[in-house]
Structure 1
Amino acid sequence: MDFLLAGLAACGACLFTNPLEVVKTRMQLQGELRGRGSYRLHYRNAFHATYTIWKVDGLAALQKGLLPALLYQFGMNGIRLGSYSLLERSGYTSTQGRNSGVKSIVSGALAGVAGAFLASPIYLVKTHLQAQSTIAVGHQYQHQVFKPDSWLVSLTSGMVSSIFVVFAMTPFDVISTRLYNQPVDHQGKGVFYRGYLDCFTKTVRKEGLHGLYKGTGASYFRVGPHTILSLFFWEELRKFYRK
């Protein structure tokens, strides 16, 4: 039941914060592997990006990828919060009856890694859908994400970075988005990147350190409300269940 309630709480938060996830994804893919000033800046900041997406693609475009986003949140945060709750109740986060900061951090990190890893395939689908736009940024998959030659390499490469996102939001989040969304050739190999380190190196070389922090504003505007709403809904659902 802990996993179910945690997943439902994360889904509730996702309904409100998914538009910022769309904005973040578009901004992270904008100007991929191109130097500053060499491409048209369609999205100047999180507010301008929100307005532009609404104006060009319509209001519904701000909820692109909502279904896989909900499934991802249900899986990732359901596992993360549910696992942590079980560890806490079992006493693994305490020492001699007192809460241990170190054990709590380790338990939270392990629960987060497990959630990110297991929910990674859904994150791949979400990224592909959210990247689709009239103003093309990044590779446009046209919903063909389940063909082996269009997702397997990106999935296995992106898993590593998605785990790091649990510990630090950006720049790992930028790398994760790009690995998941990169096109592949007819042999199923990534066209842009061979893996995490290759993506990191090429991004810095082509775009500078700035490239690793694209979409940071949207990321942090999203993280705060999402975390607060997730914990609020989780606590309320647990109260309701106990009654």
Structure 2
Amino acid sequence: MATSDFVLGGVAAMGAGIVTNPVEVVKTRMQLQGELAARGSHAQPYKNVLQAFVTVAKNDGILGLQKGLAPALCFQFIINSIRLSTYTHAVEKGWVHNKNGEISFARGMFWGALGGVVGSYCGSPFFLIKTQLQSQAAKQIAVGYQHPHTSMSDAITQIYRKSGFFGLWRGSMASVSRATVASSVQIATFGKAKCLLKDNGLVTQPTFLSFFSGLAAGSFVSVAVTPFDVITTRLYNQGVDAQGRGLYYKGWLDCVAKILRSEGTYGLFKGFWPIYLRSAPYSTLVLLFFDELIGLRERYAPHK
């Protein structure tokens, strides 16, 4: 696996992450809104995506839309450097192709999922901190448990002092499940879409090919990942007692059961539209940036 692919995957993701982080902030707030409360029985400071943007900017300031950016970029670098370089290596070795030399959707999903699992587990502490910082809001629009962190480093210190080193990996299994679904669907759809568009002569220009393939990948991801994303947000953001146990949920299955019981199926799809608005451009940007960076590397690398 080329070291340059590892670095380029991370850099591409960070570029996309800066653009899409405001949507991530809105998504997190909407997922925590009305936590374990019946629909219509709670305050709703965030009514839709556009109104939520305005509400955050008005109450938390314009920079409130970039809360949690530092850990978000760290997480994106780790997970995407691992999963994109893993997939690229698999493609170069022919591990994602069938006997006819075509990219296999199932094999693409496997290698995409494998890279996503490893990357999400390694980056889990940053996803935890990102979620907790993004949920912080002015009192009048606060939703979910409010953690007192002042920065990423302060969050690491507080979590470590309260729950020890492994407290930084609390809820990581939810993140792994989320990443398995998101990464496998995104990577496999991207590869298959590129083949279909190129082979049928619909899109041949490289940049546009990457763009439309990424757009297709993001659309499929948003549908598949929303329930897993809600669960991850809830588990990561909940407070813990003196023994380090979650105040609301015991684990992944308990979280699902409680959401269904109190909020219904609707609760598992909270924040779908911001997820879509984030996933489609994010997948498009990160996969486009990655393809472009790989192209630049190939163009200017010294030939052997």
The TM-score, its normalising length taken from structure 2, stands at 0.76
Aligned residue among 42, 46, 52 for 2:45: 42
Inter-CA distance 174–154: structure 2 relative to 1 (3 Å threshold): farther
Aligned residue among 141, 155, 160 for 1:145: 155
86-95 or 9-18, larger mean C-alpha shift: 86-95
Q: Give the match for residue 25 of structure 1.
A: 28
Deviation at 1:78, TM superposition (A): 1.0
User: CA-atom RMSD, angstroms?
Assistant: 1.7
Question: Which residues in structure 2 correspond to 1:1-243 (within 5 Å)?
Answer: 1-96=4-99, 98-101=101-104, 102-134=106-138, 135-143=141-149, 145-146=155-156, 147-148=159-160, 149=162, 156-166=169-179, 167=181, 168-242=224-298, 243=300
Whole-Å separation in 2 of the counterparts to 1:155 and 1:207: 28
The TM-score, its normalising length taken from structure 1, stands at 0.94
| Structure 2: 5+ residue stretches without partners | 182-223
SS in 1 for 2:155: coil
Whole-Å separation in 1 of the counterparts to 2:167 and 2:259: 16
Contact 1:157-1:195 at 8 Å conserved across structures: no
Whole-Å separation in 2 of the counterparts to 1:180 and 1:202: 16
**What whole-Å deviation, never above 9, does each CA across 1:20-42 have from its counterpart, x for those lacking one?**
00000000011111112221110
Deviation at 1:158, TM superposition (A): 2.1
Whole-Å separation in 1 of the counterparts to 2:165 and 2:39: 31
Aligned length: 243
Deviation at 1:138, TM superposition (A): 0.9
Deviation at 1:152, TM superposition (A): 6.9
Inter-CA distance 217–229: structure 2 relative to 1 (3 Å threshold): same
Inter-CA distance 153–40: structure 2 relative to 1 (3 Å threshold): farther
Percent of residue pairs identical: 47
Contact 1:25-1:131 at 8 Å conserved across structures: yes
Inter-CA distance 136–152: structure 2 relative to 1 (3 Å threshold): farther
Whole-Å separation in 2 of the counterparts to 1:212 and 1:153: 27
**What whole-Å deviation, never above 9, does each CA across 1:168-189 have from its counterpart, x for those lacking one?**
3111100100100110011111
Whole-Å separation in 1 of the counterparts to 2:164 and 2:32: 17
- Give the letter for the 2:129 counterpart: V
Larger Rg: 2
Contact 1:17-1:226 at 8 Å conserved across structures: yes
- Give the letter for the 1:162 counterpart: S
109-118 or 58-67, larger mean C-alpha shift: 109-118
Deviation at 1:17, TM superposition (A): 0.4
The structure whose RCO (Cα within 8 Å, separation 6+) is larger is: 1
Deviation at 1:218, TM superposition (A): 0.3
89-98 or 211-220, larger mean C-alpha shift: 89-98
Inter-CA distance 126–151: structure 2 relative to 1 (3 Å threshold): farther
Deviation at 1:155, TM superposition (A): 5.2
Contact 1:157-1:196 at 8 Å conserved across structures: no
Deviation at 1:151, TM superposition (A): 8.1
- Give the letter for the 2:267 counterpart: G
Structure number with higher helix proportion: 2
Whole-Å separation in 2 of the counterparts to 1:81 and 1:29: 30
**What whole-Å deviation, never above 9, does each CA across 1:135-171 have from its counterpart, x for those lacking one?**
2111111115332436878755522221222313111
Inter-CA distance 41–152: structure 2 relative to 1 (3 Å threshold): farther
